[in-house]
A and B are shown apart, each in its own frame.
Chain A
Amino acid sequence: MKFSLAWLRDHLETTASVEEIADTLNAIGIEVEAIEDPAQKLAGFRVAKVLTAEPHPDADKLHVLSVDAGDGQPLQVVCGAPNARAGMLGVLGLPGAVVPANGMELRKSSIRGVESNGMMCSVRELELGEEHDGIIELPEDAPVGSSFADYRGSEPVLDVAITPNRPDCMGVYGIARDLAAAGLGALKPIVVESQPGTFPCPIEIRTDDPHGCPAFFGRVIRGVSNGPSPDWMQERLKSAGQRPISALVDITNYLMLAYGRPAHAYDLARLSGAMVARKARDGEQVLALNEKEYTLDSSMTVIADDEGPHDIGGIMGGEHSGCDENTTDVLLEIAYFDPEKIASTGRKLNLTSDARQRFERGVDPAFLETGIDLLTQLIRTICGGEVSELVRAGAPPSQPRIVHYRPVMAETLGGIAVPEVEQKRILGILGFEAVGETAELEQAWAVTVPGWRPDIDGAADIVEEVIRIHGLDKVESVALPRADGVALPTATPQQKLERRVRRAAAARGMHEAVTWSFLPESEATAFADEQNALWILANPISEDMKAMRPSLVPGLLSAARRNLDRGANGLRLFEVGRRYLRGEEGASDERPTLAVVLAGERQARGWATGKAVAYDAFDAKAEALAILGEAGAPVANLQVMGEAGPQFHPGQSATLRLGPKNVLARFGMLHPTMLRAFDIEVPVAVAEIYLDSIPAKKGRETFARAPYAPSSLQSVTRDFAFLVPRDLPAGDLLKAVRGADKANIVSVRLFDDFRGAGVPDDGKSLAVEVTLQPGEASYRDEDLKAIAGRITAAAGKLGATLRG
């Protein structure tokens, strides 16, 4: 909300400077977002007199002026305005001044070969209005050489943010009241006289919707003349950023901005029959002042005559019944609308307005009569006319609200001990009435809440009033009690797991990315599980951010593509985050996940390594296993199985499972059609690790490891080359060999997979190196022979024969 210092001084007797006022506003909870100081904006602009005006030698439309800016020495200025002429007074911008409208700094220049020492300005250039037909013309008595800002008498304007709990501060008067409480001056009382009517109100006024509009007060003023409003009012409205329209419209706007009280003025000539506050009919339409047509329903309240609605009650007036320059008889409406209904109507119609903001936050229900008297008084003074009797249809809520408050709470909740006398003083100026013993800290006061403070509903609110005015800077830091000893660990196993795998992945040379949780629906669908419907936003910010991700891979693929587009050849990205699935009872099921995308070159071409090498499925497998290992998964027991999903190359992808059902990870090369969908032209290996599927460690955590002493005996290695059927998975052979003699075999490494000469077409040769560790005594030949026999036998069950 914006208002000028002059406006504030209408309501607050103060000598404080604008800086003091701004500091105080900030300190009491009214945040000053900007101080617009026209004097500052107009620095460097002076009242100046045009002495001579000659045509420019090289340009038809330009004049060369000689201007007196008060320095004695006339200045030469080139000017293009049609009204520039000798003898006139205008506004000259000197070199160094900044033109408010465009931020351009003026300098001495040459225009078509003629030196120019400044600029004669238009109204628009100085942001004083829209006019731009010529340069500003000042009256003859304007003092030449004086600062234009001083001459104009511009007042600084404060732009403040009003929090939604303070409808009373959506009027300058309310702000003045807060400042008065903070000791910055005295609040001037509202000067209003009761306005007796001289004739009965000629139009029936009533409310048929006592819930939506419990009170509707109105009166007619006839014989008004609706010209422009007076300068003082226009200045104030302009400082608030409002465009003056006509006296009647300006007066209602003024009431709203000065006192936070919306009201409405109808042209009586355009109404027919009774004016009634009633529920709208379903489908009823109204053309509002913003020239938009709104379709209403029966949950909304309108003010209507026999013809139909003229006002979306408390939100916006109708286009057809507003006042204009021909209005002679005016109907004033000041009503009380239910805040919740205003909010829901505004939401449904997606219509915001100054009136809605005030009504939905809550206006003072006791201000109807004062409000309409203020309006009447202003209209009579400015527009003349004859006043009818006031009609009061219905009654606003009038239940006094009383809060029980113990003054000690300023300290026990607010952290500042404020003397009770001071507390009573603060509350008093803010309009609260606190009744209770001042000497008794613990005893509750009964605090009556003023009507303009709908936000107050408990003792904590009173604490806030007291301490914000007393000064939050007086809150002293008090240490939280601390438990004995060093701080205890707080991280959950899940948190520790995520931290660990994140750093493991980074340590393996991958960059952690953070990508959007939402995806284009097509990408989400491509990675969705058929059993699990996607979460689709009803109001996405764009189609690209519409579906919650069922996988972390698409987001990383898009990031990879952006990097590739920027010229990267190889990429290693990972992300730790959630997949969003469906849970029970309509809740979400958000699964912690780590995904890896390896795109393009694993190894760039090198002097020692030759051509570039692309990532393959084994790179993805390596990452998956390494991360699962760090996560504490029993890597040695994992089975490599199929069904990684249709997003993957069917022959170059797999899942890692613990038992047939529990999938801990999937990995492999991405399907070429998927690459095409993401516009990626290099091979991409992917791993996705389901952190939620990793079984938790069983039993209590202990620090001591299982006992172990390395054997002093030398280990023995033996190589075995097996001929096996070509479709036998190597992993099966390794598993069989490993299991052949668990007491002796400590490791089995596959070192050759050969197909070709000497090997049958339907077979392959797999060679493994087996490491044996003797326990009590070194191996004898017969021991080794027996172990070899067990290995060969175990492999034989898979159809493997020793290669001769």
Chain B
Amino acid sequence: MDYTATGRDALLRIAEAADLDAVEALRIEFLGKQGSISLLLKTLGKMTPDERQAEGPKIHGLRQSVTDAIAARKSALENAVLEARLASEKIDLTLPAPEATIGSVHPVSQVMDELAEIFADMGFAVATGPEIEDDWHNFTALNMPESHPARAMHDTFYFADKGAEGREMLLRTHTSPVQIRSMIEQGAPLRVIAPGRVYRSDSDATHTPMFHQVEGLVIDKGIHLGHLKWTLETFLKAFFERDDIVLRLRPSYFPFTEPSVEVDVGYTVIDGKRVVGGGGNVPDGGWMEVLGSGMVNRRVIEFGGLDPDQWQGFAFGTGVDRLAMLKYGMDDLRAFFDGDERWLSHYGFSALDVPTLSGGVGTPA
């Protein structure tokens, strides 16, 4: 028998099936228990072996082609349905995604972390001390006895309270009392920095009654001004990540150091802003005061409980807020303490900006 026409007819109808129900109806019509092709298959049993030999493959071939066509048609229709559903599920992806709030680390904290990182490499630990101090640690032990004119220049905030041994209690005017505490607690040799809040009774456009300082102290044997200069140069080079840092040392006076040295750093004016780097004696250049420093006064070493004939060293101090301003370009100190979210988002740092030496301690804009 010839099944070609049957086959052609079946395949045509399958191809024309409009939906999955129609495909299923055709499957039953052709391949169901009573389906026309199923019935053809049954005829094989009644045939002679010779007939079966001739007809078998043709009927099986017919069944296979119809089965395949149904599967293909079903799959095509299913795909079409899916496509239609997906097309109906289109969304506007220009709509905003859920917002996650982004936080920040304050520039003062960031810069303090940077300082700790740089100085750790030079062997300095970070030391701390109380902000509510007594006048012995804040003045007397730093070679500022009661009548010392420098005391009056400190614009000190006092409390009515008296501390141990009747000492006057005050808000520390500098981080220098931590020098004394470190010497007493840790002895020598010693390398520490002491960042923290300090207070002066002073408030105008460029001064706030609270600000941040960092103190550095090295006590060892054979330490001289050359070591101080190297330390400050090395620190500033690492902090500003520039090789062209030039320092100018000027004699000055601090009761707690002798000799005392004011340290200027060279800058260049670029686009109206001071950029640290280069010697200051060039056109568009200048020097700005960045640090006060000197060799620790032997009386201060004595007050720290050490023998000044055996130990000597240097100390330095500078403003952390000021370092932050110089590096990161803020120009208003008062904004540091206002907590304006807009300022904090702009000048603050990502939690992930952890200063490292391998990555550079600074965070580029």
User: Which A residues lie at the B interface, using CB under 8 A?
Assistant: 26-29, 31, 163-166, 339-340, 343-344, 347, 357, 360-361, 411-416, 455, 458, 460-461, 463-464, 467-468, 472-473, 475-483, 487-492, 495, 499, 502-518, 535-541, 545, 548, 555-556, 558-560, 562-563, 566, 568, 571-574, 576-578, 580, 585-588, 590, 604, 606-609
Query: In the complex, what distance in Å separates the CA atom of A541 from the CA atom of B259?
Result: 34
Contact A535 B161 (CB under 8 A): yes
Query: In the complex, what distance in Å separates the CA atom of A412 from the CA atom of B220?
Result: 13
- Which residue of chain B lies nearest to A602 when distances are taken between CB atoms in the complex? B101
Contact A539 B132 (CB under 8 A): no
Given contacts A361-B149, A480-B227, contact A515 B337 (CB under 8 A): yes
Contact with A along B151-176 (1 / 0, CB 8 A): 01100011111111001010100000
**Set of chain B residues within 8 Å of A505, measured between Cβ atoms:** 103
Q: How far is the CB of A570 from chain B (nearest CB, A)?
A: 8
**Set of chain A residues within 8 Å of B124, measured between Cβ atoms:** 490
Contact with A along B214-246 (1 / 0, CB 8 A): 000010101111111111011000000000000
Query: In the complex, what distance in Å separates the CA atom of A480 from the CA atom of B119?
Result: 12
Given contacts A415-B226, A458-B298, A487-B122, 13 further A-B contacts (CB under 8 A): A461-B259, A481-B220, A492-B126, A506-B349, A509-B101, A511-B345, A512-B348, A513-B339, A517-B171, A518-B210, A568-B341, A604-B99, A607-B95
12 contacts between A and B (CB under 8 A): A344-B146, A360-B147, A413-B312, A475-B226, A482-B122, A488-B123, A490-B125, A506-B104, A507-B351, A537-B171, A572-B103, A587-B164
Given contacts A506-B351, A563-B339, contact A545 B209 (CB under 8 A): yes
Contact A164 B251 (CB under 8 A): no
Contact A514 B258 (CB under 8 A): no
* Residue B250 CB within 8 A of the other chain: yes
Q: How far is the CB of A735 from chain B (nearest CB, A)?
A: 32
Contact B96 A537 (CB under 8 A): no
Contact B253 A508 (CB under 8 A): no
* Residue B102 CB within 8 A of the other chain: yes
Q: How far is the CB of A168 from chain B (nearest CB, A)?
A: 13
Q: Which of B149, B203, B345 sits near A164, CB closer than 8 Å?
A: B149
Contact B132 A482 (CB under 8 A): no
**Set of chain A residues within 8 Å of B226, measured between Cβ atoms:** 415, 475-478
Contact A562 B339 (CB under 8 A): yes
Given contacts A343-B147, A535-B132, A538-B158, contact A562 B340 (CB under 8 A): yes
Contact B164 A585 (CB under 8 A): yes
* Residue B24 CB within 8 A of the other chain: no
Contact A512 B106 (CB under 8 A): yes
Contact B161 A586 (CB under 8 A): yes
How many pairs, one residue from A and one from B, have CB atoms within 8 Å of each other in the complex? 277
7 closest Cβ contacts across the A-B interface?
A: A559-B339, A29-B251, A509-B101, A163-B253, A415-B225, A464-B259, A588-B132
Given contacts A472-B261, A586-B163, contact A515 B248 (CB under 8 A): no
**Set of chain B residues within 8 Å of A541, measured between Cβ atoms:** 157, 201-203, 209
* Residue B130 CB within 8 A of the other chain: yes
**Set of chain B residues within 8 Å of A343, measured between Cβ atoms:** 147-149, 152
Q: Which of B126, B162, B229, B295 sits near A477, CB closer than 8 Å?
A: B229
Q: How far is the CB of A371 from chain B (nearest CB, A)?
A: 22
**Set of chain B residues within 8 Å of A514, measured between Cβ atoms:** 106, 108-109, 336-337, 339
**Set of chain A residues within 8 Å of B253, measured between Cβ atoms:** 29, 163-166, 455
* Residue B354 CB within 8 A of the other chain: yes
Q: How far is the CB of B178 from chain A (nearest CB, A)?
A: 13
Query: In the complex, what distance in Å separates the CA atom of A511 from the CA atom of B101?
Result: 10
| Dominant secondary structure of chain A at its interface with chain B | mixed
Q: How far is the CB of B107 from chain A (nearest CB, A)?
A: 9
**Set of chain A residues within 8 Å of B352, measured between Cβ atoms:** 503, 507
Q: How far is the CB of B53 from chain A (nearest CB, A)?
A: 55
* Residue B150 CB within 8 A of the other chain: yes
Q: Most B CB atoms within 10 A — which of A481, A540, A560, A604?
A: A481
* Residue B89 CB within 8 A of the other chain: no
Given contacts A413-B225, A490-B125, A586-B169, contact A578 B131 (CB under 8 A): yes
Contact A412 B222 (CB under 8 A): yes
Query: In the complex, what distance in Å separates the CA atom of A78 from the CA atom of B157?
Result: 56
**Set of chain B residues within 8 Å of A360, measured between Cβ atoms:** 147, 149
* Residue B26 CB within 8 A of the other chain: no
- Which residue of chain A lies nearest to B225 when distances are taken between CB atoms in the complex? A415
**Set of chain A residues within 8 Å of B344, measured between Cβ atoms:** 511-513
Contact B101 A539 (CB under 8 A): no
Contact A511 B210 (CB under 8 A): no
- Which residue of chain A lies nearest to B209 when distances are taken between CB atoms in the complex? A541
Q: Which of A164, A491, A538, A568 sits near B126, CB closer than 8 Å?
A: A491
Contact A28 B345 (CB under 8 A): no
Contact A503 B209 (CB under 8 A): no
Query: In the complex, what distance in Å separates the CA atom of A572 from the CA atom of B101?
Result: 9
Contact with A along B111-142 (1 / 0, CB 8 A): 00100100111111110101110100000000
Contact A413 B339 (CB under 8 A): no
- Which residue of chain B lies nearest to A165 when distances are taken between CB atoms in the complex? B253
Query: In the complex, what distance in Å separates the CA atom of A31 from the CA atom of B263?
Result: 12
**Set of chain B residues within 8 Å of A580, measured between Cβ atoms:** 131-132
Contact B131 A503 (CB under 8 A): no
Query: In the complex, what distance in Å separates the CA atom of A163 from the CA atom of B354?
Result: 41
* Residue B30 CB within 8 A of the other chain: no
Query: In the complex, what distance in Å separates the CA atom of A517 from the CA atom of B164?
Result: 23
- Which residue of chain A lies nearest to B229 when distances are taken between CB atoms in the complex? A477
- Which residue of chain B lies nearest to A508 when distances are taken between CB atoms in the complex? B103
**Set of chain B residues within 8 Å of A347, measured between Cβ atoms:** 152
Contact B157 A506 (CB under 8 A): no
